[in-house]
Amino acid sequence: MTTVHQACYEILREQGLTTFFGNPGSNELPFLKDFPQDFRYILGLQEAAVVGMADGYAQATGRPGFVNLHSAAGTGNAMGALANAWNSHTPLVVTAGQQVRTMVGVEALLTNVDAAALPRPLVKWSCEPSCAQEVPLALSRAIHMAATPAAGPVYVSVPYDDWKQEAGSGVEHLAKRRVELAGMPSAEMLARLVGSLEGAHNPVMVVGPDVDASHANAYAVALAEKLSMPVWMAPSASRCAFPTTHACFRGLLPAGIASISRILEGHDLVLVVGAPVFRYHQYEPGDYLPHGTRLIAITCDINEATRAPMGDAVIADIGLTLRALGETVSQSKRPMPVAVRRPEPAPEAPGPLTPERVFDIVDELAPRDAVYVNESTSTTSILWQRLRMTGQGSYYFAAAGGLGFALPAAVGIQLARPERQVIGVIGDGSANYSIQALWTAAQYDIPAIFIIMKNGTYGALRWFAGVLQVEDVPGLDVPGLDFCALARGYGVEAVHADSGEALASALRHALASNKPMLIEVETRAA
């Protein structure tokens, strides 16, 4: 007899989902029984950290990550992290244990009431199978739903007595299924796009996270060079999709309507690839586009295409479309853009370091292929100006703006990319949301480096308080934190740096150690 448990593990094995991220409760123990030797279980101490690690792992591998949560309570703890995964198009298969079927109706302790509705709208699809025999099909469907563009998290709740039941007939067909999307534009549509680009007098390109997720950065570079186009990163970008050292690169767009419109002034065509149009933040009313400017978006997400307030949209495979455009458009006779001048090195000064000085030291010492995970939100614009990020998968940021992403994501990304050094740059306010991920880094010997920018305040909130003219609000400062003590308590080596020399020494040591390490840096507010 093939049980539901056996059938589901075979599906997971064949689909390559053999790394689990979880924090189990009683409802999940029957699923984890007889855990196969060719699988691995990465334990996190809190569900937000669990999903954050899986998010980073899935983004870095480009394949679905597998998460196992504890019923409603664990799902609730994970919701903020799910918001980041939803907005970053991260393929996650999230499972949660449910009470036994005969106890769901009376809502016994640990029942996930209305389980399928709980994680919405932060998942592409969710379900609780109507009987045990439907569990393998639901799991198979979840895996393919998560991975198909636009990728995203999915959720399956499984009563824990289902695992021992006999699987239904035909279950053997599920394990080796493949579901793929053929998303190349038609020849007619491609010709229209090429005609628009070649006919523009002064085009500009805005690239977003899905370019990097599609491993299409080189195609974006080729198209920009062919058309001599300046290139901006989309506002609040969660990944870096264009080399920051390239002559065409202009920087990171701000997140205000009026500011973006001012920057795009003078361009008759805006090509947005792999990004929402646009992800605004602060309320800054104005014209969405300058007068006479046309916008065309190429996206893998029908929701992003339809909710945009202006422009035309094409839903297509990002990589294939960028490559076809670069190969088809004619070489422009316009001169190439002049490279943006890099800022001068920040001087050393007594007292806490400036963020500029911190990033200069990191940029000088880090390997050129380092991966940066950012959650020092008040210094993001400075980071983009001073860190050289040139390769695919070099940068990750919380796509929904929810704190708690970077520290566990750095652990997950380092686990997925052991050949590259992962460096988390994390604010002292942000780090506390998922500090438990340090334990996982220590226990599994995952050598990520965590740089804590310690200025004693929620810097981004202080900036926003100024924007909203509400400076006299409580709760903006976080004094009295000792991150070195916290890190050591979780088993991670830690160093306090109060000067440029101390930071450089600590970073050299961390890079040479091949162990997880936390560096607490005294910084000035940005």
H or E stretch covering 143: helix 135-147
Q: Is 28 a catalytic residue?
A: yes
How far the first Cα of the chain sits from its last, in Å, is: 63
- Interacting residues of 454 by C-beta distance below 8 A, sequence separation 6+: 428, 481, 483, 520, 521, 522, 523
- Pairing between strand 517-522 and 294-299? unpaired
Determine how many CB atoms are found less than 10 A away from the CB of residue 1: 6
- Interacting residues of 412 by C-beta distance below 8 A, sequence separation 6+: 21, 52, 53, 54, 55, 56, 57, 58, 60, 65
For tokens 């000792």, the residue is: 482
Q: What is the DSSP letter of 342?
A: P
Report phi then psi at 203, rounded to 5: -75, 155
Active-site hit among 10, 28, 304, 520: 28
**What gap in Å lies between CA 63 and CA 76, rounded to an integer?**
24
Q: Is 25 a catalytic residue?
A: yes
Active-site hit among 16, 26, 348, 351: 26
**What gap in Å lies between CA 293 and CA 272, rounded to an integer?**
13
Structure tokens at 516: 């997880």
Q: How far is CA 98 from CA 10, 154, 260, in A?
A: 21, 16, 47
For tokens 């002292």, the residue is: 428
- Interacting residues of 10 by C-beta distance below 8 A, sequence separation 6+: 175
For 324, the 3-state DSSP assignment is: helix
Q: What is the DSSP letter of 523?
A: B
Structure tokens at 86: 């939803």
**What gap in Å lies between CA 130 and CA 146, rounded to an integer?**
21
- Interacting residues of 384 by C-beta distance below 8 A, sequence separation 6+: 233, 244, 251, 252
Q: Is 70 a catalytic residue?
A: yes
For 426, the 3-state DSSP assignment is: strand
**What gap in Å lies between CA 309 and CA 276, rounded to an integer?**
10
Q: Is 228 a catalytic residue?
A: no
Active-site hit among 168, 196, 281, 311: 281
For 317, the 3-state DSSP assignment is: coil
Q: Is 281 a catalytic residue?
A: yes
Active-site hit among 25, 62, 76, 183: 25
**What gap in Å lies between CA 255 and CA 284, rounded to an integer?**
9
Count of positions (residues) in the chain:
526
**What gap in Å lies between CA 385 and CA 398, rounded to an integer?**
19
Structure tokens at 492: 């991670």
Determine how many CB atoms are found less than 10 A away from the CB of residue 25: 17
**What gap in Å lies between CA 135 and CA 137, rounded to an integer?**
5
For 213, the 3-state DSSP assignment is: helix
Active-site hit among 401, 456, 493, 505: 401
Active-site hit among 10, 47, 128, 304: 47
Active-site hit among 70, 89, 144, 496: 70
User: Looking at the annotation, which residues are catalytic?
Assistant: 25-26, 28, 47, 70, 281, 401
